[in-house]
Amino acid sequence: MEYVLGYRSPSNKKADKGTIVHKVLEILAYVKLNIQNKEDFFIDDIIGKVLVNKYNLNTIIEKVYNYYTSKFTHHEWEVKDYKDCHSWVYKALEYNNGMFDPRNRDIICPEQHFDIEIAKPWAKYKYDTSEGPLEGNLAIKGTIDLITRVDDKTMEIIDWKTGRRLDWATGQEKTLEKLQQDPQLRIYHYAASHLYPDIDHCMVSINFINDGGAFSICFDKKDLAQTEQMLRSKFEIIKNTQKPKLNKTWKCNKLCHFGKTTFDNSQIPPVAEYREGQVCKKDSYMTKCEQVKHDIELKGIKNVVAQYTVPGYTVGKYKAPGSAE
Ligand code: SF4
């Protein structure tokens, strides 16, 4: 619904509070990077000019908070939300005597964007679309919160999480053992190894500010083959899928925007359920998720992609974290 068809679900408040905390930590990483580069100031896209030796952290938090709360107007923002953001920033900075405070680190790159095409025969794809053939190679895209240097041969990726330490698909807690196989962390290592090929060892530290603190996983070049195998098998499953399986759980009509809403006629007319025994009651409108599933069965995925894609959206679009679009 989101990545292929381009539908957006409204962000939730907890995630937006995470964005605020991330932005403040990013600014502090730029403070340190500019000190390393012997610059006196830099211009941040949200808060403007920052003097690296004369800034007030509380003012930065306030400005970032005001910026995002003025953009994310679909929530009721309360004093408690500000207090949470403020305390989460300090928790991240003070953890283990400032171990993950970006100002105490040798910064390689804050907010490292990556877009890496995998130049292997297995990574090729080709689809016929209504606008002609779409072909290329699988590329992985994302943004790493922070990359720091430990020594000449070792880097440490730092990722902050303000939410629970849960695998939302299974509801199970993420343990150190599970994090070793976590796709996000492995992809970060894969991307960082391509961006910084001279660095052999990579720690990935994921810091659950509100749920257990930091967990560090070590990777080296030998891990790349396994990560690539993981990407390949997921990619092949997706490429070969003609009818995506619905993952129906209690979350559908509690948490998922596409399980709670129907199409509204602006682009796609809603379809009323005409069958018995479906998730939607007979004669009520199908949810967006169910209507798309219904149409895939009826018309095939290619026609559904052509009919349902949001006008102007292309499948390769990447929305950077912190973007308020
Ligand atoms: S409603 Fe359920 S099955 Fe459908 S997209 Fe949402 S989570 Fe997935």
Concatenated DSSP letters of 186-216: HHHHHHHHHHSTT--EEEEEEEETTTTEEEE
Residue 71 maps to which CATH number?
A: 3.90.320
Q: What is the pTM of this model?
A: 0.90
Residue nearest to atom 8 of ligand 1 (CA): 247
| pLDDT mean over 41-57 | 97
pLDDT at residue 318, as a whole number: 59
The answer to whether position 179 is within a domain reads yes
- Residue 174 one-letter amino acid: K
7 lines ligand 1 (CB under 6 A): no
Long-range contact pairs involving 261-270 (C-beta distance under 8 Å, separation at least 24): 261/287, 261/288, 262/286, 262/287, 262/288, 262/291, 263/288, 263/291, 267/310, 267/311, 268/307, 268/308
Between 323 and 66, whose confidence is greater? 66
Mutate which of 251, 262, 291 for ligand 1 pocket (most atoms within 8 A of beta carbon): 251
The answer on pLDDT for 68 being more than 70 is yes
pLDDT at residue 323, as a whole number: 67
Mutate which of 168, 254, 289 for ligand 1 pocket (most atoms within 8 A of beta carbon): 289
- Atom of ligand 1 lying closest to residue 259 CA: 1
Instruction: Please name the residues in contact with 164: beta carbons below 8 A apart, sequence gap of 6 or more.
Output: 208, 210, 211
Residue nearest to atom 4 of ligand 1 (CA): 289
Please tell me the distance between residue 260's alpha carbon and the centre of ligand 1 in angstroms.
Answer: 9
248 lines ligand 1 (CB under 6 A): yes
Q: Would you say the C-alpha torsion 13, 16, 22, 24 has a positive or negative sign?
A: negative
The answer to whether position 250 is within a domain reads no
The answer on pLDDT for 325 being more than 90 is no
320 lines ligand 1 (CB under 6 A): no
The answer to whether position 23 is within a domain reads yes
Contact 152, 176 (CB under 8 A): no
| pLDDT mean over 255-267 | 90
Helix (H) or strand (E) segment spanning residue 44: strand 41-44
Residue range(s) defining the domain that contains residue 23:
13-240
Q: What angle, 0 to 180 degrees and rounded to 10, lies between the N-to-C axes of helices 183-195 and 223-240?
A: 120
pLDDT at residue 254, as a whole number: 87
State the Cα–Cα distance between residues 83 and 67, nearest whole angstrom: 16
315 band by pLDDT with thresholds 50, 70 and 90: confident
pLDDT at residue 175, as a whole number: 87
List the one residue out of 283, 319, 285, 291 whose CA is nearest residue 307: 291
* Total number of domains in the chain: 1
pLDDT at residue 176, as a whole number: 85
pLDDT at residue 321, as a whole number: 63
Mutate which of 7, 170, 249, 252 for ligand 1 pocket (most atoms within 8 A of beta carbon): 252
The answer to whether position 171 is within a domain reads yes
320 band by pLDDT with thresholds 50, 70 and 90: low
State the Cα–Cα distance between residues 1 and 37, nearest whole angstrom: 43
The answer to whether position 265 is within a domain reads no
Residue nearest to atom 7 of ligand 1 (CA): 252
Mutate which of 4, 247, 286 for ligand 1 pocket (most atoms within 8 A of beta carbon): 247
| pLDDT mean over 296-315 | 90
State the Cα–Cα distance between residues 154 and 141, nearest whole angstrom: 23
The answer to whether position 293 is within a domain reads no
Highest mean pLDDT among 38-42, 130-134, 260-264, 312-316: 38-42
The answer to whether position 306 is within a domain reads no
247 lines ligand 1 (CB under 6 A): yes
State the Cα–Cα distance between residues 39 and 31, nearest whole angstrom: 9
The answer on pLDDT for 316 being more than 70 is no
The answer on pLDDT for 303 being more than 80 is yes
| pLDDT mean over 178-203 | 94
State the Cα–Cα distance between residues 112 and 213, nearest whole angstrom: 22
| pLDDT mean over 188-217 | 95
Q: Quick: pLDDT tens for 127-172.
A: 877 777 888 999 999 999 999 999 999 999 999 999 888 877 777 8
Residue 216 phi, psi dihedral angles, 5° rounding: -115, 130
Pair of tokens at residue 307: 């009919």
| pLDDT mean over 173-200 | 93
252 lines ligand 1 (CB under 6 A): yes
The answer to whether position 51 is within a domain reads yes
Please tell me the distance between residue 23's alpha carbon and the centre of ligand 1 in angstroms.
Answer: 30
Place of tokens 């970060």: 188
- Atom of ligand 1 lying closest to residue 293 CA: 4
